[in-house]
Amino acid sequence: MKKSVFIALCLSMALWLTACTNEVADIQEDGNTVTTESGVETEITEDTSDKETEENTVKSSADAVSATGKNATTKSGAEALVTASGVKTTESGTVSDKASADEDGISTDVDMTKVSLYDEAKMMYAQTNVNMRMGPSTDYETLGNIKTNTEVKVLGRFGSDGWYLIESGNGKAFVSNTLLGEEKIDLEALRAEQEAAALAAIQSQQAQAANQVQDNNNQQQAQAAPPQPVAAPAGILFIGDSRCVQMQAAVGGGNSSWICENSKGYEWFSNKAVGQADACIGKGTKVVICLGVNDTDNIYNYAALVNAKAAEWAGRGAKTYFVSVNPVTENPYRTEEEVEAFNATLPGQLSGVKWIDTHSFLVNNGYTMVDGLHYDSNTYVAIFNAIVGSLK
């Protein structure tokens, strides 16, 4: 390269650097919104050592959105406020990912001017297991759970037909207005009605299945036939509650013996079912216990009694199995969290008893419920087959 050309390049570089320096200086002195050659428009704030601007309105290209990791205005025209914690918007207002609470426990994001307070608080009752929340939406964090038929002090309502504001301990909370009622519900009557309806649904489903099998005239229809119970070996004894009653109906007895009644739990098991089982257990009997959904708080009572009876029955040549409590959905009696706690604790308390985890089986393979507590016929057949397959 000739010396003259090299000198010219150096001079050009020096002039370019000077221009860039002046542009930066102009930006720093201006202190206002500027637009660079890249097309990114942003707001420049005063630099101070003891205070930083927490929120800036940003209008940028898609590259700027990626750089901030927050919501921002892009060339498509979408707008949002960018904060250090990030935000999301609901009908009740802006809900922070990390919501803070006021002295009553309500999220500071809630627009409390939309709450219409009653002249006098109303006493209402939880119609099912109800979650209390920091704001009038399921987007807000839960503050606890109210059991079915618990009396609740209602202070007001969010909007004309929205969530209730209630008194909660030393603070306040919001609950869905669809989950509170003026009167308590009759749980025993409701349970009996649901159990009868579930059993009727199983019988109807079985009748339809029988008709379907009869009408299967080609291979494609045969493949669509409902599942059938496996051929269970002799000597299986099921002990259980309404779910067991319905499983027995779904499998037509399944070549097994059954000691089961609706709405039962530990007290029935201890006072009645064990005595009936003692009268028929012998060598080769496989005792399958399907209890717990009606009284998930009786973990340690179940463990103590089942361990003692399993040891006694083993002396007769029998084996004992305990089946997990299977999933529930929305219902007035039991939450899925309570079910999962029961299943997580009981296996560690059992001795000489095999645990059969049909809960995980259903979660992984799918199931159909008819009322939040009971299943359809096909699901009961699947549960029965899974249990029989685990008896070794």
H helix runs in the chain, sequence order: 3-30, 62-68, 187-215, 219-223, 242-250, 266-268, 274-278, 299-314, 336-349, 358-365, 377-390
From 234, 247, 326, 224, select the one nearest 280 (Cα to Cα): 234
Quick: pLDDT tens for 147-179: 999 999 999 999 877 899 999 887 999 999 999
d(CA 323, CA 86): 45
Quick: pLDDT tens for 176-197: 999 999 999 999 999 999 999 9
CATH 2.30.30.40 assigned to 113-181:
yes
For residue 128, the model assigns a pLDDT of 92
Tokens of 138: 């399921």
Pairing of strands 34-35, 164-168: unpaired
H helix runs in 48-178, sequence order: 62-68
Q: For residues 12-23, b (16+ Cβ closer than 10 Å) or e, as one string?
A: eeeeeeeeeeee
Average of per-residue pLDDT across 360-389? 96
pLDDT band at 246 (very low <50, low <70, confident <90, very high): very high
From 170, 120, 160, select the one nearest 136 (Cα to Cα): 160
Least confident of 36-50, 83-97, 330-344: 36-50
Helix (H, G, I), strand (E, B) or coil at 58: coil
Give the DSSP per-residue string, 293-311: TT-TT-HHHHHHHHHHHHH
**Side by side, which strands form the sheet with 164-168?**
142-146, 130-133, 171-175, 164-168, 151-158, 115-126, 180-181
From 42, 12, 9, 37, select the one nearest 23 (Cα to Cα): 37
Global pTM reads 0.63
Tokens of 256: 């097994």
d(CA 136, CA 17): 57
Res. 80: pLDDT tops 90: no
CATH 3.40.50.1110 assigned to 188-390:
yes
Q: Which residue ranges make up each domain of the chain?
A: 113-181, 188-390
CB 318 within 8 A of CB 285: yes
Quick: pLDDT tens for 104-143: 889 999 999 999 999 999 999 999 999 999 999 999 999 9
From 90, 82, 126, 134, select the one nearest 108 (Cα to Cα): 134
Pick 372 or 78 by higher pLDDT.
Answer: 372
Give the DSSP per-residue string, 30-54: H-S-EE-TT--EE------SS---S
Q: Give CA torsion, residues 178, 183, 189, 193, to 10 deg.
A: -30
For residue 377, the model assigns a pLDDT of 95
Quick: pLDDT tens for 314-368: 999 999 999 999 999 989 999 999 999 999 999 999 999 999 999 999 999 999 9
